[in-house]
Amino acid sequence: MSGSHNIPFLDLVAPHRELKAELTEVFHRALDTAGFIGGPMVEELEKAFAAFCTTSHSAAVSSGTDALRFALMASGVQPGDAVITVPYTFIATTEAISQSGALPEFVDIDERTYNLDPQKLRAYLQTRCAKDSSGKLISRRSGRPVSAVVPVHLYGQCADMDAILDIAKQYGLIVVEDACQAHGAEYFSRKQNRWFKAGSMGRAAAFSFYPGKNLGACGEAGAVTTNDAELAAKVKMLRDHGQARKYYHEIEGYNGRLDAIQCGILHVKLRHLPKWNEQRRERAAEYDRLFAGAGSTIGLPFEPSWSRAVYHLYVVRTGDREGMIAHLAKAGIGAGIHYPVPLHSQNAYRALKYSQGDFPVAERVAGEVVSLPMYPQLTAEQQRRVAEEVLRFARLETPVTLAAGESH
Ligand SMILES: *Cc1c(COP(=O)(O)O)cnc(C)c1O
């Protein structure tokens, strides 16, 4: 197969080629005014992104990791707290928790959606936490007060927020959404009988504009969204050395601003995001169709009726993941693994003293997932070829976990 026929896992060149004139214009505008930090380009993006997320506020920051850290700090998480999240996410989720001074604690994911399992969250709060004499909820595992929960909208699909918000309310927990992969994803609340955008349901939410995300900067970038004006103001202080007025520092903050050029670039790209997300959904539906006959040999993404996912990634499962990736590589097709090792098994978190077997679903899923090429510019012909190779491989393989109980 010649190089020109290769299908990359991700194509970041094509979308930037299409937008080159508009993006260059942003750079000229910044050069002409030397407005590099703060100013109208930042405020315009914040307004537009808040409108996109249907929140009243957004604050542009230097990365998704900073967005999550600032969101946690501004929503009231205190040093010494415990914050609950999933072990099956990118490490930035737990880095942000640690950097806010809190300790991450894990609850396992749902086998079909790969997101926080609300039943397991409830069980954890009921059986692994207890109220102390002052009424504070204390984790038995760490002895720390549990103050927040961070559901991650993985692969571009919202976690089951009705249930999570209910449980959080019952236990007095702050909810901060990790929406870093979910720009524009939607969730249908059965409770409120309407659709919600990712990033509009918790106290605050964090988005990443890392280049490969559904909305990506030409560099590092992120944003916090919230419906709480005070919280937004706090994030804006945290990102700018704790000051709301130059050289008057209310708190000790950080250098976590997003520069004007990146804001201008993101504003240009934001106009294309609804179309790009629609194209991702179409491509996901096309993969679903192409794989429809594969039976139990490959596991497909599951989109509940209450979800409109934006397919940051299209992830399938197979009993022989390394085999499938090697087969695809030989056919000139790129693939990824998101994520091969759950966080509780990472060396970085040995001190948390979790063991293999603590989160069986995350562990099983982490051993079986393969992310296939997924981007708005992916052509029907490319998708047909990807599917052909996946199916060719799958038919050679004996299903392992996915067809458990089946005898041959
Ligand atoms: C990308 C990502 C982040 C971090 O975003 P950065 O902009 O890279 O700091 C956090 N959480 C999740 C789930 C992500 O995918």
Is 383 in contact with 288 (CB distance < 8 Å)?
no
Query: Mean pLDDT, to the nearest integer, of 192-197?
Result: 98
Domains in the chain, start-ordered, CATH in brackets? 13-270 (3.40.640.10), 273-394 (3.90.1150.10)
The per-residue pLDDT for range 298-323, each reduced to its tens digit, is 999 999 999 999 999 999 999 999 99
- pTM of the predicted structure, to 2 decimals: 0.96
Does any ligand 1 atom lie closer than 6 A to the CB of residue 92? yes
Does any ligand 1 atom lie closer than 6 A to the CB of residue 63? yes
> Per-residue pLDDT for 377 more than 70?
yes
Alpha helices, H only, 200-351:
229-238, 260-270, 273-290, 321-330
In this structure, of 1-15, 62-76, 168-182, the range with the lowest mean pLDDT score is 1-15
Residue with CA at minimum distance from ligand 1 atom 7: 64
Does any ligand 1 atom lie closer than 6 A to the CB of residue 152? yes
Q: What share of the chain is helix, strand, coil (3-state, %, to 5)?
A: 40, 20, 40
Neighbours of 57 (CB within 10 A): 22
**403: Cβ contacts below 8 Å, ≥ 6 apart:** 296, 297, 319
Ligand 1 atom nearest to 154, measured from its CA: 13
> How confident is the prediction for the chain on average, in pLDDT?
95
| CA 390/CA 375 separation, integer angstroms | 18
